[in-house]
Amino acid sequence: MINDTAEAFVEVLETPLVAGAGALSGLTFAAKDNYAFAGRVAGNGSPAWKANHAPDTVTAPSLQTVLNAGAALAGFTKMDEFAYSMIGSNAHTGTPLNSAAPLRVPGGSSSGSASAVAAGLVDFALGSDTGGSVRIPASFCGLYGLRPGHGRIDGSGLKPLAPSFDVPGWFAPELDLMLRISAVFGLAADKATAPVRLWMPDTIWSRMDAAMRSALAPGIARAESLLGPALTHAIPLYGEIDWFETFRLHQAYEAWASLGDWIEVERPDFGPGVGERLAAAKAVSEETFAKVSQDRSAIRAAMDEALSGGVILLLPTAPGPAPLRDASQSDLELYRRATMPITCIAGLSGLPELTVPGASVDGAPVGLSLVAARGGEEMILDFARRMSAA
């Protein structure tokens, strides 16, 4: 039984569960508390949710895949309430430790999964990503984190927040293990198509301060040593359409569709920020949703074209290191609003994104993201391997 020194778990199994044998035998893992597991109630980051929902009857396929491959399930991890935050704090269950930067938050919403891996409590962990919930904790905790493209991995069995964005994802402390886990899901780096060029749009990079640019420069240099200088042209439609608002409103509409009926009946208590976002979600009209859905379709088409032919998009995973644990709610909201215009790029377009660790600002980790066209998971995994050897 794990000694949860990072306060990362909501439930630690007395004996890790082994249900198969295969490529992940001998490894331990944790699963975020929004994964269905037969005979258990997934808490979804909310004590009220857990108190009045029945146990699941079927285990989420992505969780079952890892079990079938021989990994031992150590327990279930803390998460932000309903996965509707990226900070990593939960008013009901607390804030897990960020072992890589103990004075800072771990990031969310897959906070406990990232915390458990960073603390060495498990070898790897499953999370989920809607608006950055794997990528941001990976960046904050100095881990590899993969958000597969939407629909590439079976996401059924995840408690829904915004189903057209929600995807399973996973964390690993080392690249070799990230590749090993990904291969179990059919994402084998050895089967990758080679990329042909890099793209670092000024749209995003011009917003980064000197400290972030300096920290990420060695990783960028390794990437450019393989494919030459990156293109820097703007992201298409980024000026004509407000990408952040498109994401925010689309996600909000789906979140209320997923949670609203239950909320109206149960009237649960919410932590800071979550209740306000859900109240705003309730107010999103059908007309507004139709408009942002149209904008999202245009964005997806533009990004499909921009990434065609083997382009890898390089982005800072986040605008800086994790906020401090004692940051004010207003400062956390400012950080969230600086982050979402970056993370929404892959989310709106359904793209795969891999967070690569190895840099730091003010002594705290920051990640570099590799993004590819839909279906390009193998490409970015293989390119990360090539970067590590460059």
Q: Residue 162 and residue 43: Cα distance in Å, rounded?
A: 17
159 in active site: no
Name the residue among 97, 100, 78 with its Cα closest to residue 367: 100
The DSSP H or E segment spanning 243 is: helix 243-266
Q: Are 133 and 38 in contact (CB under 8 A)?
A: no
Please, how many CA atoms are within 13 Å of residue 165, restricted to the half-sphere of its CB? 29
Q: Residue 97 and residue 105: Cα distance in Å, rounded?
A: 7
**Of 32, 115, 128, 182, which is the active-site residue?**
32
Q: Are 5 and 101 in contact (CB under 8 A)?
A: no
Q: Are 91 and 272 in contact (CB under 8 A)?
A: yes
Q: Residue 224 and residue 227: Cα distance in Å, rounded?
A: 5
**Of 85, 109, 182, 258, which is the active-site residue?**
109
**Of 46, 62, 85, 133, which is the active-site residue?**
133
Q: Are 110 and 79 in contact (CB under 8 A)?
A: yes
32 in active site: yes
Q: In what order do the strands lie in the sheet with 144-147?
A: 9-17, 72-77, 28-32, 124-129, 167-172, 144-147, 353-361, 364-371, 311-316, 197-199
Please, how many CA atoms are within 13 Å of residue 160, restricted to the half-sphere of its CB? 16
Beta bridge partners of 31: 76, 126
- Catalytic residues, by residue number, are 32, 109, 133
